Structures are given as C-alpha cells and as structure tokens.
C-alpha cells in the first residue's frame, strides 16, 4: 500500500490580502452527462452546464475546467477539516460506487495542490501582474473559473466574490507563485 502523504500546507507568509486556505478534498472528474448526474447525487453539488463556471453548495463545489472535465472541491468551509484521510477515501468510494456503470475518470488530487485566497480592492490588479486574463468583473464575474497561468505556473482561478479570488496552485509552485504575488503587491501594500 502506498504511503499516505501529509496534507500539510506550504509555508506562506500571511498578509491582509493573501490567505492560505484550509486543506481540502480535490478530485478531477472526466465524464459526460451521465457521469455528472451520477456524481452530483453523491457529491451534493450540481455541475455547471455553462463553460468556466463554478457551483458552490455548503462546503463543496464543482468547477468547470473543460469539456467533460470538472474539479470537485470539498471541505471549503474550514469547519469540516479535510485533513482526515478517511474523509477523502469515503468521498472517493461513494463517487466511484455511483459512477461504476458510467464511463468516467476520477482522480484524487488532494495532495497535489493547495489553495490561496487573494482579496481586497487590488486583488484583480495584483493577479493581472502575472495572469494574462482580463479580470475586470464585467469579463470575469463572480462564479467564473478557469485553468490558466500565473506567470509560468499553471493555476485554477475562481472568482468567489467581487473582491476575492480562490487560486489552486500545485505545491511545487508555492514559493514561486506566492513570491511573485508578494512582489507585485508591494506597489499597493508595501514590503
């Protein structure tokens, strides 16, 4: 049996505009309408039919990343700490059972990445220092999400509030992404 990786968070200096979010369950689901219907019944959250949209319900969310590809996030409220390996295993087991007769691919990526929140009046501007997307709220409204880049690092970007973004970052890019964010934010918040 493979060793269980620890769901510890990378060291990120906390400031008022950037926060490391609690550990969460993360799954990538590939599948058509049948897979989404079966998964929604046990995951407890529906799946967006419009591209690049997230649906949040309670402590769980589904994010549309591409045709028939979704990121499932669980434990987002911070109260249901997702550090317990049995929670992820139980969720994965329930999803696999619901999907057993439907073509799909389900991968637990909980250990691969972690999440940050960049918030405040300059959040979009700070992110645009490394992200090529137009993050004006008229182009990237609340509830929109996408896979993109922050400078040279792949990220998933989700606008959760008018002045806040949820960013999924691979753990190996933690220092790079947070360092660049801090460098950009110096203009607004100082060193």
Tens of pLDDT along 125-178?
Answer: 999 999 999 999 999 999 999 999 999 999 999 999 999 999 999 999 999 999
Residue 54 CB contacts under 8 Å (≥ 6 apart), including other chains: 48, 61, 62, 63, 64, 143, 144, 145, 158
- The total number of structural domains in the chain stands at 1
Tell me if 101 is assigned to some domain: yes
Tell me if 38 is assigned to some domain: yes
Length of the chain: 191
Tell me if 9 is assigned to some domain: no
Among residues 79, 80, 66, which one has the least CA distance to residue 146?
66
pLDDT over 70 at 81, yes or no: no
pLDDT over 80 at 1, yes or no: no
Please report, for the domain that includes residue 115, its CATH number. 3.30.1360.120
Q: Which tens digit of pLDDT belongs to each residue from 26-38?
A: 999 999 999 999 9
pTM above 0.75, yes or no: yes
Tell me if 110 is assigned to some domain: yes
Tell me if 71 is assigned to some domain: yes
Average pLDDT on 37-56 reads: 96
Share of the chain above pLDDT 70, in %: 89
Tell me if 120 is assigned to some domain: yes
Tell me if 12 is assigned to some domain: no
Average pLDDT on 36-60 reads: 95
Q: Which residue has the tokens 């295993």?
A: 89
Strand order in the sheet with 113-119: 18-20, 113-119, 164-170, 153-161, 145-150
pLDDT over 50 at 88, yes or no: yes
Q: Which residue has the tokens 């970052």?
A: 169
Tell me if 6 is assigned to some domain: no
Print the domain residue range for 32. 18-189
Q: Which tens digit of pLDDT belongs to each residue from 4-18?
A: 444 555 666 678 899
């Amino acid at each position: 049996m493979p060793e269980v990786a620890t769901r510890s968070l990378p060291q990120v200096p906390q400031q008022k505009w950037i926060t490391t979010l609690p550990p969460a369950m993360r799954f990538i689901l590939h599948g058509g309408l049948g897979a989404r219907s079966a998964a929604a019944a046990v995951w407890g959250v529906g799946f967006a039919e419009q591209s690049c949209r997230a649906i949040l319900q309670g402590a769980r969310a589904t994010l549309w990343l591409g045709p028939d590809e979704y990121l499932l996030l669980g434990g987002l409220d911070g109260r249901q700490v997702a550090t317990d390996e049995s929670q992820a295993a139980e969720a994965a087991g329930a999803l696999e059972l619901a999907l057993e007769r439907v073509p799909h691919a389900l991968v637990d990526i909980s250990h691969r990445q972690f999440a940050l929140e960049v918030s405040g009046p300059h959040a979009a501007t700070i992110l645009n220092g490394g992200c090529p997307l137009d993050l004006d709220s008229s182009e990237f409204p609340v509830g929109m999400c996408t896979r993109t880049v922050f400078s040279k690092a792949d990220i998933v970007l989700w606008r959760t509030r008018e002045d806040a973004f949820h960013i999924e970052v691979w753990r190996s890019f933690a220092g790079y992404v947070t360092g660049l964010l801090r460098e950009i934010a110096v203009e607004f918040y100082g060193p």
